A and B are shown apart, each in its own frame.
Chain A
């Protein structure tokens, strides 16, 4: 009798705690929707088709970063290097094509450089036991240096038509968006349905338990960075095709912040073990729309940066609230 009472009261307490997390997530969703409605009502041109396409395109071109980052966050790490890797890959492929190189070889080179950086990050974190934040910050600087060097700090343009054809639209939807959706679905299945996906979550939540459970934790960590690097390569291809050029500044400074924020809004945690692809994509759409509205409202770039900085701080606080629950 008494143990029954204890159990049920304990259960109640804990279910309240679980409710708390759900409540925070629901709150995030509700606030996001309210913000969007306000923006839709107050911002001129919000519903113009061109604007919506703009949003979708910018989501997809840097969106590969948020897909990769979701995997890395789930497995308990972070990858700051992606913007640099995208630019290095773009400048590598771009300068190769401008000097008469074949577009398909350039395409493969871009993917290859992404994979190479994923490999470096992965080895440093998994085998070298180095701190992910510092490792990927270093490779960010390194890859940006490569991009500057390859482009000689100039814009690389005049890319072959075959390559630029990667930006053609099927109906009104660009190929880049279609590939983005396809990759997102694939990763969603990977995370939720496959063995590898499960181990990302387990390693990210408690690496010691995972190790004792016989999971090859080094391999799992390594693969998360490899996937992130590969997706950086894909991102480089479609961003370059869309812009029609490559520079060492083509990915803006605020992209890293925006992407981390979008993953956390979508349910990922900086502490690892949490996250999902759908959430990250919705988070990214939200952040991009807010970004877009800053432009439509004529808020200057620098003022916009201040606001976005604040939003990210707020989002990370949400992460703290969740983990308390």
Chain B
């Protein structure tokens, strides 16, 4: 790939990036969230068309109009969470898009089994082609997708964070598989946040930062700290705003012992009054899952939660906790708003009790409307009036409306998961202001964000998730970009 450039409205996602990968070698592609890795791979996989630059495969220039063009050219993606047909056999899953046919109607089962067996024996001889997929261990299912790629004649195989849902043993098996593919002379591109993995499996590396290629070389000539320095770069640190030490304050919420599949192994924390508690970690570190488990939104065992009432630590059920907190996610459309309802019905939806009369449970619609106008002014939501449909608002204003909903409810705990993703800069600053206001009024805020500067600007205390555990707590001046990234990448602080 040479001189690849890709622009999205307002951002240059890739700027003249060149990538060169050789047969029989594993190339590690690294960079922080948003550095351009996924965009680059989506260009290679035919998902995006580059604005400039060329792709050459075996010396031939390729132009991909669609993912299937790239697939036919022998470029295969191994996804983080592939989709399978559980009630079909392994062989059928492998050949799902191109079943062997005896004639026009019936499939040739025998041929399919033989072919599947042939490929399976190369990389995973313990899986039988006639097994039902549901009987294959979850960690081994990835192999099916790899075999699928091989049978389609793939020469370039891209692994995108392939280990995020794997246990240790499964990870070792995957690495064995990759080594076998290497021996077969395939070109392998390996994307991961985990530098240990990169050091172990890759031969070469390239580092992207802000859409630019910043470094490349041989893995044997560098080490983990060298790589993480390249990833982070020499960013100018802007000074941390006056920081407040919140560690001695009253605890409002205690969470203990959250487990979540392979992702989280017993995490817990305390939330203090009037603080913004940041949860930091790489993508796939289980930040969101920790919160969802805590609130009982996924069917996982979860852990225990306690809430402080009048100085007493009382256990609280998850669904009650969900009713007490304000939960704001980037998925506004999915679980934040009622888009075809007017703004006022959205704002009061979490606090209907306050507008309900004792007899007949009638709603005080006038008061709902008037109160909504108050919140619109308070949060500076830009709308012609409180009666317009939520769908007509811009992303940033919709997100402010979600805040209004929870403020209207009078929540004392706010949980924010990527609260400013997809909103414009102006609205982002507005939301930051709202978050600070909330904390200064004594509300407690849990903040998850992938943007380091947002974390640095807002958080009083940061917990860092890595390898399924909270490995570090940072406060005050230690909350800076370099430190946060260093710990998330390597598990040790910069100083």
Chain A residues within 8 Å of B, Cβ to Cβ? 3, 7, 10-11, 14-15, 17-18, 193-196, 198-199, 201-202, 205-206, 208-215, 273-274
Say which residue of A194, A211, A214, A274 sits within 8 Å of B362 (CB atoms).
A194
Chain B residues within 8 Å of A, Cβ to Cβ? 297, 322-323, 327, 334-341, 345, 349-350, 352-353, 355-356, 360-363, 365, 382, 384, 389, 391-392, 394, 405, 409, 426
Q: Are B382 and A7 in contact (CB under 8 A)?
A: yes
> What B residues does A214 contact at CB under 8 A?
322-323, 350, 409
Closest to B397 in A: A7
Most chain A beta-carbon neighbours within 10 Å: one of B352, B360, B394, B409: B352
Q: Tell me the minimal C-beta distance from B75 to chain A in angstroms.
A: 36
**With A213-B349, A213-B350 as given contacts, are A206 and B338 in contact (CB-CB < 8 Å)?**
yes
Q: Are B340 and A274 in contact (CB under 8 A)?
A: yes
**With A11-B392, A14-B392 as given contacts, are A196 and B361 in contact (CB-CB < 8 Å)?**
yes
Q: Tell me the minimal C-beta distance from A92 to chain B in angstroms.
A: 32
Q: Tell me the minimal C-beta distance from A159 to chain B in angstroms.
A: 36
Known: A202-B338, A212-B327. 15 other contacts (CB 8 A): A7-B382, A14-B392, A15-B392, A17-B391, A17-B392, A18-B392, A193-B362, A195-B353, A195-B361, A201-B345, A202-B345, A202-B349, A206-B338, A210-B338, A214-B322
Q: Are A208 and B362 in contact (CB under 8 A)?
A: no
Closest to A199 in B: B352
Say which residue of B297, B341, B350, B426 sits within 8 Å of A205 (CB atoms).
B341
Q: Are B338 and A209 in contact (CB under 8 A)?
A: yes
Q: Are B363 and A195 in contact (CB under 8 A)?
A: yes
Q: Are A208 and B338 in contact (CB under 8 A)?
A: no
Q: Are B392 and A194 in contact (CB under 8 A)?
A: no
Complex CA distance for A212 and B409, rounded to whole angstroms: 12
Most chain B beta-carbon neighbours within 10 Å: one of A10, A208, A212: A212
> What A residues does B356 contact at CB under 8 A?
194-195
Complex CA distance for A15 and B391, rounded to whole angstroms: 10
Q: Are A193 and B363 in contact (CB under 8 A)?
A: yes
Interface secondary structure of A, over-half rule: helix
| Count, A-B residue pairs, CB within 8 A | 80
Complex CA distance for A210 and B334, rounded to whole angstroms: 10
Q: Are B340 and A209 in contact (CB under 8 A)?
A: no
Complex CA distance for A202 and B334, rounded to whole angstroms: 13
Complex CA distance for A202 and B338, rounded to whole angstroms: 7
**Pairs across A and B, CB under 8 Å, 18 listed:** A3-B426, A7-B394, A14-B389, A14-B391, A17-B391, A193-B362, A195-B356, A195-B363, A198-B349, A198-B352, A201-B341, A201-B345, A210-B338, A212-B297, A212-B322, A214-B409, A273-B338, A273-B341
Q: Tell me the minimal C-beta distance from A30 to chain B in angstroms.
A: 23
Say which residue of B363, B384, B426 sits within 8 Å of A194 (CB atoms).
B363
Say which residue of A10, A15, A17, A198 sits within 8 Å of B394 (CB atoms).
A10
> What A residues does B362 contact at CB under 8 A?
193-195
> What A residues does B338 contact at CB under 8 A?
201-202, 205-206, 209-210, 273
> What A residues does B337 contact at CB under 8 A?
206, 209
Q: Tell me the minimal C-beta distance from B289 to chain A in angstroms.
A: 16
Q: Are B334 and A208 in contact (CB under 8 A)?
A: yes
Q: Tell me the minimal C-beta distance from A304 to chain B in angstroms.
A: 36
> What B residues does A7 contact at CB under 8 A?
382, 394
Say which residue of A11, A195, A205, A273 sits within 8 Å of B352 (CB atoms).
A195
Q: Are A202 and B361 in contact (CB under 8 A)?
A: no
Complex CA distance for A212 and B319, rounded to whole angstroms: 9
> What B residues does A213 contact at CB under 8 A?
349-350, 405
**With A3-B426, A194-B360 as given contacts, are A215 and B382 in contact (CB-CB < 8 Å)?**
no
Closest to A3 in B: B426
Closest to B426 in A: A3
Q: Tell me the minimal C-beta distance from A5 to chain B in angstroms.
A: 13
Complex CA distance for A209 and B322, rounded to whole angstroms: 12
Closest to B406 in A: A213
**With A196-B361, A210-B349 as given contacts, are A273 and B340 in contact (CB-CB < 8 Å)?**
yes
Q: Are B336 and A209 in contact (CB under 8 A)?
A: yes
> What B residues does A273 contact at CB under 8 A?
338, 340-341
Closest to B350 in A: A213
Complex CA distance for A211 and B389, rounded to whole angstroms: 21
**With A7-B382, A18-B389, A198-B345 as given contacts, are A212 and B340 in contact (CB-CB < 8 Å)?**
no
Complex CA distance for A199 and B350, rounded to whole angstroms: 10
Say which residue of A14, A193, A209, A212 sits within 8 Å of B365 (CB atoms).
A193
> What A residues does B394 contact at CB under 8 A?
7, 10
7 closest pairs, A vs B, by CB? A14-B392, A213-B350, A214-B323, A208-B335, A195-B356, A195-B361, A205-B338
> What B residues does A14 contact at CB under 8 A?
389, 391-392
> What B residues does A212 contact at CB under 8 A?
297, 322, 327, 335-336
Closest to B349 in A: A213
Complex CA distance for A83 and B345, rounded to whole angstroms: 35
Closest to A13 in B: B392
**With A202-B349, A273-B338 as given contacts, are A194 and B322 in contact (CB-CB < 8 Å)?**
no
> What A residues does B350 contact at CB under 8 A?
213-214
> What A residues does B365 contact at CB under 8 A?
193
> What A residues does B334 contact at CB under 8 A?
208-209
> What B residues does A205 contact at CB under 8 A?
338-341
Complex CA distance for A205 and B338, rounded to whole angstroms: 7
**With A194-B363, A195-B352, A195-B356 as given contacts, are A202 and B392 in contact (CB-CB < 8 Å)?**
no
Q: Are B335 and A194 in contact (CB under 8 A)?
A: no
> What B residues does A10 contact at CB under 8 A?
394
Complex CA distance for A198 and B341, rounded to whole angstroms: 11
> What A residues does B355 contact at CB under 8 A?
195
Q: Are B340 and A202 in contact (CB under 8 A)?
A: no
Closest to A203 in B: B338
Complex CA distance for A252 and B327, rounded to whole angstroms: 49
> What B residues does A198 contact at CB under 8 A?
345, 349, 352, 363
Complex CA distance for A18 and B337, rounded to whole angstroms: 18
